[in-house]
Amino acid sequence: MPSQHIQAEQRDGVLKLTLDRPDVLNSFNARMAEELTAALDFAARDATTRAVLLTGIGRGFCAGQDLAEVMPDPERPATDLGEVVARQYNPIIRAIRFTEKPFICAVNGVAAGAGANIAFACDLVIAAEGATFIQSFAKIGLIPDSGGTWMLPRLVGLQRATWLAMMGEKIDANRARVEQRELRVRHVPTHCRTDQISHCAPRRTHRRLATVEYDGRVGNELARPEAIVPEPGERRVHPSRDDMSDAAIFGHTLVDGHEP
């Protein structure tokens, strides 16, 4: 199937994948998710690809799910959002975290919902001056998915992650820079336009990551320090379908809301 919404360009061992639905801030429909999953599968299998750079076209990196595709419609059956997450987003997060090659996300604008969590799933995040990150799920009565309930507490701690999830607070590039120790976000100079962020990212970063032997599983282990792994018998508060779905991405099963 020809790619309609994902641009792919390979140079010096780096595969650049660009989300291309700028009229809707690169929000995902089913086709774009399928195309990105296929591109990530290629990256995992291709011996000439040593690193992956993920970015977007236009004024946004990714606004998450295109709600026009999943909102209730009297002329069709109701959409199972859990099934959409399992089919479209979990394979993307799983591919990013378990492909044994480094991933850089160049955030050129808004990264909202699943778009923010795809960025946070990458090994490095480089953000333009005007970039923003927001867990927008609460605005439509949801909790974070696409790995969010797994990754966020491991990046910023449980209380901060809970605040971001419940309040939908927007974090701009400068704020993310202050918190880069947790969020792993770097920002580029103000003279770099948001639509040129992938070019402004230091080329030496691309080259360095493209020349090292990399095991992505190391990052997954670093993301789950023993201090936050539930003790035997400890229960999680308000386990949810999304929480169990996010845990399943990383090969963990939640039994009655806690890890066995």
Task: Look at the block and give the residue holding tokens 């009229």.
Answer: 23
Cα separation, 232 vs 211, whole angstroms: 41
Q: What three-state secondary structure class fits 102?
A: coil
**pTM summary value:** 0.75
Specify the pairing of strand 110-112 against strand 60-62: parallel
pLDDT tens digits in sequence order for the chain, 260 residues long: 578 999 999 998 999 999 999 999 999 999 999 999 999 999 999 999 999 999 999 989 999 998 888 876 777 777 778 888 889 999 999 999 999 899 999 998 999 999 999 999 999 888 888 889 999 888 888 888 888 888 888 888 888 888 888 988 888 876 765 554 445 565 555 445 444 545 555 454 544 554 455 544 445 544 443 333 333 443 343 444 555 555 565 555 444 444 44
Residue of 84, 61, 242 lying closest to 148 (CA atoms): 242
Cα separation, 116 vs 74, whole angstroms: 31
- What is the total residue count of the chain? 260
Homologous superfamily (CATH) of 6-189 is 2-enoyl-CoA Hydratase; Chain A, domain 1 (3.90.226.10)
Residue of 183, 121, 110, 166 lying closest to 147 (CA atoms): 121
